[in-house]
Amino acid sequence: MRRAEMNQLISSSIEFLEQMNFKLPIWAYWKPEDWRGKYVSCREIVDNMLGWDLTDFGSGDFHKRGLILFTMRNGNLLRDKKIYAEKIMIVEEMQETPMHFHWSKMEDIINRGGGNLVIDLYNSDSDENFSEDDIEVKVDGIIRTVRGGESVILSPGESICLEQGLYHRFYGEKGKGRVLVGEVSAVNNDSSDNRFYESIGRFPEIIEDEEPLHLLASDYRKYI
């Protein structure tokens, strides 16, 4: 992905978050120069990969298959006592986050506002393939049984609990607008805990055609 495209997408996301009256921490808006010399005081942010994260999953078409998110809090079981994480995501209409599950992380996905969020579900079998077995999930604590491959649609305010090994992909429902999506979970490690059904790229290669407006979490080591 080009840095210029990433800069535009982050700026557009900030505008959308403001429209939704969702507030980010002050350092979400820092310029690259604002980070210099702050590693010691901001070690948790840097080491635990908090902040902006943007990917097209190697598709080359962010608006068709991609995701922008901001990690507000996250622990590291090897370094600190925090055992939980929280993210905010912006999902466009028909913009797919591909089918995947987590080996370790259990999470709640929450529609915080905007349009409707569609989540397609499959259980995984012992070979990590799709299972046709029925799936028992909790939507806002209420048990719901769905068939393998069936969708659950979350309207604003609704949430679903996704356990380990449960394949899921999500996208905004067509015609309903962008969706503000929250995630509350156990400690998150996107480098090792994602099992994508297809072989994809989680972190994009960046073409540096202009300077970053705001740093991605993956930029910290280079700039700080």
Q: What is the pLDDT of residues 141-152, one digit of tens each?
A: 999 999 999 999
pLDDT at 79: 87
Question: Looking at residue 85, what is its pLDDT?
Answer: 97
Query: DSSP letter at 30?
Result: -
Note the pTM of the prediction, 2 decimals: 0.95
Kindly list the domain boundaries of the chain, sorted by start residue.
3-223
Which amino acid, 29? Answer: Y
Tell the CATH superfamily of the 3-223 domain.
Jelly Rolls (2.60.120.10)
Q: Is a pLDDT exceeding 90 seen at residue 109?
A: yes
| Integer Cα distance of 53 and 45 in angstroms | 13
pLDDT tens, residue by residue, 177-214: 999 999 999 999 888 899 999 988 788 889 999 999 99
Q: Residue 1 has which token pair?
A: 């992905």
Region of residue 165 (left: phi > 0; alpha: psi -120 to 50; beta: else): left
